[in-house]
């Protein structure tokens, strides 16, 4: 450059902010987190309402089917035949991890108890003589319809685990797809659907504005000693509802969070009573401080496991510390008529959700 004084700067000017990576679309990723939770909650509530004993896990495979459009055509054709025998259900579909072929899972309401007398051990060994003839006839129908549409193996079995665990299994591919780049090209492919029924949770998350869910968030914020529920995102991460929403929805809160009205004169309404009955139905007997503490301790243990590791001593200590710092709850006082109403609601809830 000589001595003209026109030298390059010793420090280069600051570069412009990097553009978002095309390989990791944050909009798609965030949308998938929401989609996973929506699908999981829909399936969980569907199983709960239909009754675990009446719901079957349907798996449909498709050999040499790599294209999304090809599988969609086969699946929708099979679905039309499926509706004639199984009028309602919820499905997810995924690529097989090794071959890349598509296959689908569905939770279907068979309409009768297929779980109680099902010889699972015998079926696992290939012996089907003791299977209910009605179920074997349904198997035959599904095999014929799948074969005529170019699909592969079809399997319909009773649920092996609880409804919540099965909902996580059905949506496990959606969970993996959130952080994976292997779903490139499948962004517009619908991975979850419903037939013959209604969605209990919608992707717009309008259900989050409901009073009970907002009360759950308020209770958790108070339990964690936060100023308001908006800080939950800062403390537990942006996807905290995805990780802890299901557990939070199973917590028995103090009765005041279910009631309506001014602080000095709160009372029960239908929505609060139903929500209270649903939460209490998971525990034996009438609502008690012990069952409430157990449900809350389980949530704090999950949060501690997420923060410190699932099997760490710190996770257990975190849960114990949170429980010790909670405001003591006064014994539950219900008038006789309300006790009878709550007993009936809890019994109906248990009967509908019992395996």
Q: Is the pLDDT of residue 157 over 90?
A: yes
Residues 262-278, mean pLDDT to the nearest whole number: 80
On average, the pLDDT of the chain sits at 77
Average pLDDT score over residue span 214-241: 90
Residue 142 has pLDDT above 60, yes or no: yes
Global confidence as pTM? 0.53
**In this predicted structure, what is the pLDDT of residue 36?**
79
Q: Judge whether 109 and 82 are in contact, CB under 8 Å.
A: no
Chain centroid offset of residue 141 CA: 30
The yes-or-no verdict on residue 7 having pLDDT over 50 is: no
Stretch 198-203: mean pLDDT: 68
CA distance 86 to 78: 12
> Which pLDDT score is estimated for 246?
79
Lowest mean pLDDT among 82-91, 221-230, 265-274: 265-274
CA distance 295 to 140: 43
- Cα distance between residue 60 and residue 104, in whole Å: 5
Query: In Å, what is the CA distance from 41 to each residue of 27, 186, 203, 218, 355?
Result: 21, 22, 11, 20, 18
* CA gyration radius, the chain: 25
What is the CA 258 to chain-centroid distance, rounded?
A: 23
CA distances 186 to 183, 263, 348, Å, are: 5, 50, 42
Domain ranges of the chain: 26-195, 210-348
pLDDT, residue 349, reads 59
- What is the model's pLDDT at position 73? 84
pLDDT of residue 131: 92
Q: What is the pLDDT of residue 282?
A: 67
Is CATH 3.30.70.260 what the domain over 26-195 is classified as, yes or no? Answer: yes
Burial of 226 (0-12, 13-18, 19+ CB in 10 A): middle
């Amino acid at each position: 450059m000589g001595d003209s004084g026109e030298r390059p700067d010793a420090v280069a000017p600051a570069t412009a902010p990097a553009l978002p990576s095309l390989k990791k679309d944050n909009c798609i990723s965030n949308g998938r987190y929401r989609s996973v939770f929506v699908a999981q909650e829909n399936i969980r509530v569907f199983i709960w309402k239909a009754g675990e004993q009446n719901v079957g896990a349907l798996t449909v495979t498709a050999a040499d089917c790599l294209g999304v459009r090809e599988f969609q055509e086969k699946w929708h054709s099979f679905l039309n035949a499926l509706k004639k025998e199984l009028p309602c259900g919820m499905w997810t579909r995924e690529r097989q991890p090794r071959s890349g072929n598509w296959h689908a899972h569905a939770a279907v309401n068979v309409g009768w108890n297929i779980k109680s007398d099902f010889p699972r051990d015998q079926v696992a060994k290939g012996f089907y003589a003791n299977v209910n003839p009605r179920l074997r006839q349904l198997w035959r129908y599904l095999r014929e319809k799948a074969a005529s549409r170019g699909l592969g193996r079809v399997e319909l079995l009773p649920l092996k685990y609880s409804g919540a665990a099965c909902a996580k299994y059905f949506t496990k591919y959606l969970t993996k797809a959130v952080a994976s780049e292997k779903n490139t090209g499948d962004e517009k492919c619908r991975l979850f659907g419903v037939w013959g029924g209604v969605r209990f949770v919608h992707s717009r998350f309008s259900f989050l504005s409901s009073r009970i869910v907002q009360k759950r968030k308020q209770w958790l914020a108070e339990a964690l000693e936060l100023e308001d529920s908006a800080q939950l995102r800062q403390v537990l991460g942006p996807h905290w509802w995805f990780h802890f929403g299901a557990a939070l929805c199973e917590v028995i809160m103090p009765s005041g969070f279910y009631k309506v009205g001014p602080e000095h004169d709160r009372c029960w309404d239908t929505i609060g009573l139903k929500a209270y009955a649903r939460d209490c139905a998971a525990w034996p007997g009438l609502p008690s401080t012990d069952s409430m503490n157990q449900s809350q301790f389980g949530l704090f243990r999950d949060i501690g496991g997420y923060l410190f590791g699932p099997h760490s001593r710190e996770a257990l200590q975190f849960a114990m510390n949170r429980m010790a710092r909670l405001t003591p709850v006064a014994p539950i006082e219900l008038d006789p008529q309300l006790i009878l109403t709550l007993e009936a609601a809890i019994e109906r809830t248990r009967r509908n959700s019992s395996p």
